[in-house]
C-alpha cells in the first residue's frame, strides 16, 4: 500500500483501505503528468482530485502500511494465547470467517480477547502507534460502535527490515461472553489501524478488508444473571480480590460475619459465568457451627447478602421424603 507525497508534502495519504473508509469504490486515472482520483459523489457528480506529478520539483515517494496482523484469543479452559491471522494467508489459524466455538455458561465456558499484534513497515515516514478496533454483537443485528484497544510498541527490525515495527497487547483480559449477555450466535468484528507522520502531518493506515472488516462468530448458551449490588451497610463483611502478574483479576470474594466475628455467609464470583455463588454457615443456640451448605448460585452478578439462602423444612426428622 503506497502513499504519494508531492514536493515533500502529502497530497493525500490514501491507501486502499483508507479509500474504502472514505467512500468506496473509487478509481485512480493517470492523464499525462496528472494523477486523477475519481469517485461517485452523493449528488451524482464526480469529485475529481487532480494531483500534479511531473510538474512539481522534489517529488518524494514514501510508503507505509500494515503487513502481518493477528487477533489474540483464549478459549475454554486453556490459558495459552492463540494467534489468529487476518491479512496473511497461511495454514495456521485464520480469523476471517472462522467459528470460534460454542460456549456454555453453565459449564464455565470462556472466550477472552487478550489483544492483538500489528506489524507495520515504513519508508521515509514514521509509524508512531497502533490500535485494534473491535465490537461484539448478535448475528443479524445492527452492530454498535467499535471499542479501541491500544497496542504498545514492542520492537523493531522484524522480518529483515529495520523499519518494521511490532505493536502488541497479549493480556487485555476482555471477557467476550460477558459482552454477549443472551444466548445466541455472536459476531466478533475487528479491524486494525496504525498512525504515522510525515512532514509534520499525521495519517492513518488501515487493515480491514477494504472496509468490510474481519469477522468471526461464536455461540453462547445460558444467560447472565442480573447485576443487583448492595453495600450491605447493616452487616459486617470483608471483601477480597486477587490478581495475576499481568494485573488480571483471578478471584473475588465477600465474607459476611456476625457480631461475634463468626462466618455467616461466604460469597465468591465465578468470573467465567459472571455469577456469584454462596455458602451459608449455621450455628446452634450455643453459637457452635453445626452446618455449612454447599456452594449455590445467588442469581446475581454482584455481591449482595442473600436473604433466605437457607430455609427450614417442615418434614419431621426421620420422616420419609419423596
Give the CA-trace dihedral at 23, 24, 25, 31, to 10 degrees. Answer: 50
Q: Which tens digits make up the pLDDT trace of 23-47? A: 333 343 433 433 333 333 333 434 3
Candidate from 1-10, 82-91, 94-103, 188-197 with smallest mean pLDDT: 1-10
Query: Domain-by-domain residue ranges, the chain?
Result: 2-61, 65-221, 236-297
Q: For domain 65-221, give its CATH number from 1.25.40, 2.70.50, 2.60.40, 3.40.50.
A: 2.70.50
pLDDT at 55 over 80: no
User: How many other CB atoms are found less than 10 A from the CB of residue 307?
Assistant: 6
Smallest CA-to-CA distance from 69 within 213, 181, 188 is with 213
Average pLDDT, the chain: 79
According to the model, what pLDDT value does residue 298 have? 87
Provide the pLDDT confidence category of residue 205 given band limits of 50, 70 and 90.
very high
**CB-based burial, 67-78: b 16+ in 10 Å, e otherwise:** bbbbbbbbbeee
End-to-end Cα distance, the chain = 74
Query: Per-residue pLDDT tens for 105-156?
Result: 777 778 999 999 999 999 999 999 999 999 999 999 999 999 999 999 999 9
Q: Cis bond leading into 25, ω under 30°?
A: yes
- Residues in Cβ contact with 35 at an 8 Å cutoff, skipping those fewer than 6 apart: 4, 28, 29, 50, 51, 53
The pLDDT confidence band at residue 284, using thresholds 50, 70 and 90, is confident
Which of the residue ranges 3-7, 99-103, 110-114, 311-315 would you say has the lowest mean pLDDT? 3-7
Cβ-Cβ contacts under 8 Å for 224 (sequence gap 6 or more): 105, 178, 181, 182, 273, 274, 275, 301
Read off the DSSP letter of residue 309. S
Classified as helix, coil or strand, 290 is strand
Amino acid at each position: 500500500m503506497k502513499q504519494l507525497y508531492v514536493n515533500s508534502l502529502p497530497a493525500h495519504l490514501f491507501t486502499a483501505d483508507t479509500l474504502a473508509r472514505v467512500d468506496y469504490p473509487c478509481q485512480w486515472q493517470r492523464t499525462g503528468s496528472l494523477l486523477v482520483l475519481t469517485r461517485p459523489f452523493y449528488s451524482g457528480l464526480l469529485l475529481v482530485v487532480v494531483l500534479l506529478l511531473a510538474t512539481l520539483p522534489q517529488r518524494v515517494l514514501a510508503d507505509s502500511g500494515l503487513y502481518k496482523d493477528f487477533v489474540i484469543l483464549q478459549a475454554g479452559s486453556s490459558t495459552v494465547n492463540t494467534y489468529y491471522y487476518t491479512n496473511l494467508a497461511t495454514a495456521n489459524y485464520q480469523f476471517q470467517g472462522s467459528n470460534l466455538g460454542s460456549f456454555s455458561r453453565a459449564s464455565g465456558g470462556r472466550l477472552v480477547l487478550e489483544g492483538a499484534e500489528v506489524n507495520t513497515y515504513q519508508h521515509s515516514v514514521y509509524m508512531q502507534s497502533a490500535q485494534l478496533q473491535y465490537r461484539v454483537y448478535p448475528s443479524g443485528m445492527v452492530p454498535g460502535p467499535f471499542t479501541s484497544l491500544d497496542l504498545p510498541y514492542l520492537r523493531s527490525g522484524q522480518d529483515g527490515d529495520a523499519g518494521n515495527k511490532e505493536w502488541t497487547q497479549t493480556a487485555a483480559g476482555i471477557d467476550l461472553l460477558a459482552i454477549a449477555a443472551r444466548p445466541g450466535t455472536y459476531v466478533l468484528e475487528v479491524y486494525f489501524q496504525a498512525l504515522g507522520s510525515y512532514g509534520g502531518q499525521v495519517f492513518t493506515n488501515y487493515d480491514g478488508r477494504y472496509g468490510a472488516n474481519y469477522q468471526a462468530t461464536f455461540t453462547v448458551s445460558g444467560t447472565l444473571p442480573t447485576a443487583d449490588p448492595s453495600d450491605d451497610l447493616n452487616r459486617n463483611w470483608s471483601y477480597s480480590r486477587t490478581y495475576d502478574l499481568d494485573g488480571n483479576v483471578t478471584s473475588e470474594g465477600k465474607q459476611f460475619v456476625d457480631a461475634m466475628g463468626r462466618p455467616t455467609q461466604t460469597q465468591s464470583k465465578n468470573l467465567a459465568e459472571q455469577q456469584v455463588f454462596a455458602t451459608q454457615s449455621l450455628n446452634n443456640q450455643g453459637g457452635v457451627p453445626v452446618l455449612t451448605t454447599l456452594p449455590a448460585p445467588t442469581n446475581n452478578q454482584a455481591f449482595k447478602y442473600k436473604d433466605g439462602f437457607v430455609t427450614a423444612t417442615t418434614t419431621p426428622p426421620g420422616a420419609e421424603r419423596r
